[in-house]
Amino acid sequence: MAQWPDGKKRCIWANPGNPLYISYHDEEWGRPVHDDAVLFEMLILETFQAGLSWECVLNKRAAFREAFDHFDLEAVCAFDKTRIAQLMDNPAIIRNERKLAAAVGNARVFRAIRKEWGSFDAYLWHWTGKSVVHERGLTRSALSDAVARDLKARGMRFVGSVTIYAYLQAVGVIEAHEPDCFLAQELSGSGLNPAEPCRTGLN
């Protein structure tokens, strides 16, 4: 684990040379999110990570916000083929036509889940009974398998278990800061540990 100028130890994946990455690690990653607007933004961004690094996506986050109307759910749901074609001409974002089309479809599924559950927050956190799961060293789990399977059944794309696991980590459903990271103790409050059962839809 690298030594940092401020004396704090951070997770090994945090790039000390990228201020955006440091800010994301310190202020966002692993902190429980209950705001549907943030949950939507992070879900869309995570689906663009497939096959790429998160740092690549994070570096383009501001451009994605502008291109996706600041992740206004209704606006993204209304994107059509013409708008997707315009996005394909935007060099500041990740230009993958399948992912762009999936983002629009996923937005519509997200909206449908909000209508069914009252909020996407209620849907997402019901999988763990509103508890944070504390575990490290994994890239997928029974929980991410179940959530991914359900989202796919509802029509979402680019939401495999590995992508959803990363998403759950990002929005704090799973807390995975490394033991020596200065945030590990701060975020290790009440929740589920890996030995405890979580609600996966299978039990």
Helix axes of 81-88 and 97-117: crossing angle, nearest 10 degrees: 130
Catalytic entry in 54, 117, 135, 178? 54
Asked if residue 56 belongs to a known ligand binding site, the reply is no
Marked catalytic residue, from 21, 24, 123, 167: 24
Residue among 21, 29, 41, 46 flagged as catalytic: 46
**Closest to 141 in 3D by CA, of 76, 78, 195:** 195
Cα-only R_g, the chain: 17
175 DSSP β-pair partners:
134
- The full 3-state SS of 10-62, as one line of letters, equals CCCCCCCCCHHHHHHHHHCCCCCCCCHHHHHHHHHHHHHHCCCCHHHHHHCHH
Interior/surface letters 55-80, b for 16+ CB within 10 angstroms, e for the rest: bebbebeeebeebbeebebeebbebe
> Catalytic: 13?
no
Task: Examine the residue annotation and report whether 24 is marked as an active-site residue of this protein.
Answer: yes
Tell whether residue 134 is among the known ligand binding residues: no
Confirm or deny that 77 is annotated as ligand binding: no
Q: Does 54 qualify as catalytic in the annotation? A: yes
Annotated binding site: 11, 25, 177, 181
Extract the annotated binding site for Zn(2+): 11, 25, 177, 181
Catalytic residues: 24, 46, 54
